[in-house]
Structure 1
Amino acid sequence: MTNRVLILGGRGRIGSSVATDLIHHTDAHITITGRSEDTTWKDSFPGDRTDFLQLDLSDDARLKQAIAQSDLVIHCAGPFHYRDGSVLDLCIGQGVNYLDVSDNAGFTQRALSRSDMAAAADVTAIVNSGIFPGISNSMVRHGVEQLDEPEQIHLSYVVSGSGGAGITVMRTTFLGLLKPFDAWLNGAWAKVKPYSDRQPIQLPAPYGKVHVYWFEMPETFTLAESFPVKTVVTKFGSVPDFYNHLTWIAAHIFPKSWIRSKQGTEFLAQVSFRMTSVTDRLSGIGVGIRSEVTGKKDGQPAAYVSTLVHSNTAIAAGNGTGSIAQLLLTGKLHKPGVWAVEQALTTELFEQTMQSRNIQIHHSWAKA
């Protein structure tokens, strides 16, 4: 029988990229949802493999019915700052596997707290899939596995312009600037200010030297829980660099109460989206990731570096989520419970799916 996949928020840039990946790499029938009636999806997807369902996530009855008719639910309806665990709860209640593209630490912690319930229902639920978090988590896992004693993880992301990911990602970025967050530093949790401690890193072409800042991501705590390391650093930056300076101003000068309001967040997101729609023509919409894991190998200090560059952030995110969905649908990935990507996906399976999507990740040893 044909697997049926329900993509919540499937009309957005990330959701549609996930749908495209599934069409290319699976035989699943895909239902795309949105809050309003839409026919434009027909221009992008084959009608015999996809259909559209008008659905508001607040309509519990219709949502429950849609989930019951599915073999896998992929939650792409962000920003996840505003989401609770109700979709996951319904999936657990219906015995349906779950996957999401969440990027909010609070949402992730609430989802992971449901792991025992998911395991009891034989439901495999994986959170934080996509490009970052997602592919980045598996890059770190690969690095950790190269060392005998991993001690520190430094994970950096850089996005060109809008990243092709749509306005929801803009909203998420500004919501992430609201308050200091906990980071795992030297074996203890410490408060860190968002968009602080500007740092240069080196990425492959076309990026070269770029700058990144502290930014709260779910990996901040999932990597600390997944691996025996003393420090986890997660940093983010933009290209062109003047966007970094504008974001720094928003983080350190703008009143937090204004950003916290939906009107303030929406204003900043809309202005940023319009600006990047112009600069995207020059900067592109790609993404760069650098993972460095330091520790000991054969008793000596060592550092293992992995880098990835992709020309389209949204497509890369679709590949990351679609690859895990493919593994769930084929039964190659079955791990009842709720997991972050690095906890559920083996390096072997990760490398297989990346190769099938022509995503190249470069690895090297560096001076510790």
Structure 2
Amino acid sequence: MSLNVMVVGAYGNFGSIISRRLARVDGIELVLAGRGAQIAQLAQELGTRFWQGDVLGTDFAKALSAFQVGLVIHTAGPFQGQDYAVARACIAAGAHYCDLSDAREFVAGITQLDESARSRGVAVLSGCSSVPTLSAAVIEAFLAKAGGGFCAHSLRYGITSSAKMPGLSTVQGVLSYAGRPVPQQRNGRLEQVPGWYGLEWVSITGMRGRRLVANVDVPDMAVFPERYGLRDVCFKAGPGLALGTFANHLLARAIRSGLISRPDGIASRLHRLGRRFEAFGNGKSAFYLELGGVKDEHPSRYRWELLATHDKGPQIPCCAAIALARKMATGFQPTPGARVCVGEIDLQEYLEAIGPSFITVTEWSR
């Protein structure tokens, strides 16, 4: 029997990637969902069913039941400030749920739905994306390989995208905390640092030159210190062109100084400006992770890098949801309950969902 998968926000940046990938997977019957007329056009192109409507309205739960949806993939961000209406409707309809949120408060707060999800026998997984799903998979794959001889104490990691601009909702999300306090784990305690401050140059294997990254807010800070016993956790990110990271930093400074109160209007302008500079990029994106610790009483480090070419970086955040859907289509049933999506997809499953044609993985330890 096929698994009916509904993609919410199917014609968006991430939603369209997931929809196109899952439309070719055996054992999955796809249902596209969205408010605009584009949903019918995409459904016709992919040869799938669709539902056009507002997922925040009362008809959404009815649509889930009518299409007998087994899994909902929620891609319609930004998730900063969103409530859990979509997840609650899934629970009511008895459908499993995952989202691509990277909003820390949204992801960490999903546990408030745990009791109701358990009572309905469904899994509600938040943060099914690069962070924290991929980052957790990398850490756990290394710790399993290292055995009990490695004791981790610090984590420095991040994402540098290509110059190709993501969707406007993604830009609005990452700028929502510009100049605002975001937590990072330092010396065993969470400290507040300004978003898009902390400029730093990083080098990636296979990428000429260096990339500029800065402090951003991620769900991992609510999970990783306790899960892995880490005293220091630092995550940074930035667009492919240093000019973009610097523009975000200047916006953060303007907000902290009181010159700008809200970044909403600026986000659309920066998005339009960024699109004009896309041709100056090299099409490369990267995820990097460096774990520090002690092995057999000696200092030790482990580094893992994922390099994506040909502007394929936006596919990487989508592949946790793709991997979950593929896994469920073969009979896997996630444990009921509402939780952060860590430990649900292992590293091999994640990489298989990405595909090898445009990625290179580099790792070393010493």
Structure 2 residue identity aligned to 1:76: T
Aligned partner of 2:210 in structure 1 is: 209
Offset of residue 198 of structure 1: 1.7
Within 5 Å, give how 1:297-312 maps onto structure 2.
297-311=295-309, 312=312
Query: In structure 2, what is the Cα distance between the partners aligned to 1:15 and 1:256?
Result: 36
Structure 2 residue identity aligned to 1:322: I
Query: In structure 2, what is the Cα distance between the partners aligned to 1:111 and 1:331?
Result: 25
Aligned partner of 2:99 in structure 1 is: 100
Q: How many residues align?
A: 358
Aligned partner of 1:64 in structure 2 is: 61
Deviates more, 1:206-215 or 1:14-23: 206-215
| Closer, same or farther: CA 124–356 of 1 in aligned 2, 3 Å | farther
Query: In structure 1, what is the Cα distance between the partners aligned to 2:109 and 2:251?
Result: 28
Structure 2 residue identity aligned to 1:63: F
Query: In structure 2, what is the Cα distance between the partners aligned to 1:259 and 1:137?
Result: 36
Cα deviation per residue 1:304-328 (whole Å; 9 max; x = unaligned)?
1110111322222233321122123
Aligned partner of 2:346 in structure 1 is: 346
Aligned partner of 2:168 in structure 1 is: 167
Aligned partner of 2:23 in structure 1 is: 23
Structure 1 residue identity aligned to 2:336: P
Offset of residue 94 of structure 1: 2.3
Deviates more, 1:2-11 or 1:171-180: 171-180
Whether 1:6 aligns to 2:6 is yes
Tell me the percent identity. 19
What secondary structure is seen at the aligned counterpart in 2 of 1:344? coil
| Closer, same or farther: CA 127–360 of 1 in aligned 2, 3 Å | farther
Query: In structure 2, what is the Cα distance between the partners aligned to 1:174 and 1:71?
Result: 34
Aligned partner of 1:268 in structure 2 is: 266
Query: In structure 2, what is the Cα distance between the partners aligned to 1:259 and 1:81?
Result: 19
What secondary structure is seen at the aligned counterpart in 1 of 2:335? coil
Q: Do the aligned partners of 1:183 and 1:221 also contact (CA within 8 Å) in 2?
A: no
Gaps of 5+ in 2: none
Offset of residue 63 of structure 1: 0.8
| Closer, same or farther: CA 308–86 of 1 in aligned 2, 3 Å | same
| Closer, same or farther: CA 7–204 of 1 in aligned 2, 3 Å | same
Structure 2 residue identity aligned to 1:289: F
Structure 2 residue identity aligned to 1:67: L
Gaps of 5+ in 1: none
Cα deviation per residue 1:76-117 (whole Å; 9 max; x = unaligned)?
111001311121122222221111100101111221332343
| Closer, same or farther: CA 350–224 of 1 in aligned 2, 3 Å | same
Q: Do the aligned partners of 1:71 and 1:96 also contact (CA within 8 Å) in 2?
A: yes
Aligned partner of 1:278 in structure 2 is: 276
| Closer, same or farther: CA 207–272 of 1 in aligned 2, 3 Å | farther
Cα deviation per residue 1:154-210 (whole Å; 9 max; x = unaligned)?
1111112244x2111111121121520222221112111112222222212235422
What secondary structure is seen at the aligned counterpart in 2 of 1:244? helix
Query: In structure 2, what is the Cα distance between the partners aligned to 1:365 and 1:56?
Result: 49
Pairwise CA RMSD of aligned residues?
A: 2.4
What secondary structure is seen at the aligned counterpart in 2 of 1:5? strand
Q: Do the aligned partners of 1:226 and 1:342 also contact (CA within 8 Å) in 2?
A: no
Query: In structure 2, what is the Cα distance between the partners aligned to 1:330 and 1:260?
Result: 49
Offset of residue 285 of structure 1: 4.8
Structure 2 residue identity aligned to 1:85: Y
What secondary structure is seen at the aligned counterpart in 2 of 1:268? helix
What TM-score does the superposition give when structure 1 sets the normalisation length? 0.88
Aligned partner of 1:249 in structure 2 is: 250
Offset of residue 222 of structure 1: 2.0
Offset of residue 135 of structure 1: 2.5
Offset of residue 72 of structure 1: 0.4
| Closer, same or farther: CA 256–91 of 1 in aligned 2, 3 Å | farther
Whether 1:331 aligns to 2:331 is yes
Query: In structure 1, what is the Cα distance between the partners aligned to 2:118 and 2:179?
Result: 34
Query: In structure 1, what is the Cα distance between the partners aligned to 2:303 and 2:91?
Result: 38
Offset of residue 351 of structure 1: 5.0
Offset of residue 9 of structure 1: 0.7
Structure 1 residue identity aligned to 2:141: H
Aligned partner of 1:35 in structure 2 is: 35
What secondary structure is seen at the aligned counterpart in 1 of 2:11? coil
Query: In structure 2, what is the Cα distance between the partners aligned to 1:64 and 1:222?
Result: 30
Within 5 Å, give how 1:164-243 maps onto structure 2.
165-243=166-244
Within 5 Å, give how 1:126-141 maps onto structure 2.
126-141=125-140
Q: Do the aligned partners of 1:141 and 1:342 also contact (CA within 8 Å) in 2?
A: no
What secondary structure is seen at the aligned counterpart in 1 of 2:223? helix
Q: Do the aligned partners of 2:179 and 2:197 also contact (CA within 8 Å) in 1?
A: no
Query: In structure 2, what is the Cα distance between the partners aligned to 1:182 and 1:23?
Result: 38
Structure 2 residue identity aligned to 1:235: K
Aligned partner of 1:156 in structure 2 is: 158
Query: In structure 1, what is the Cα distance between the partners aligned to 2:122 and 2:56?
Result: 23
Aligned partner of 1:54 in structure 2 is: 52
What secondary structure is seen at the aligned counterpart in 1 of 2:27? coil
Offset of residue 51 of structure 1: 2.3
Query: In structure 2, what is the Cα distance between the partners aligned to 1:247 and 1:358?
Result: 28
Offset of residue 235 of structure 1: 0.7
Offset of residue 149 of structure 1: 0.8
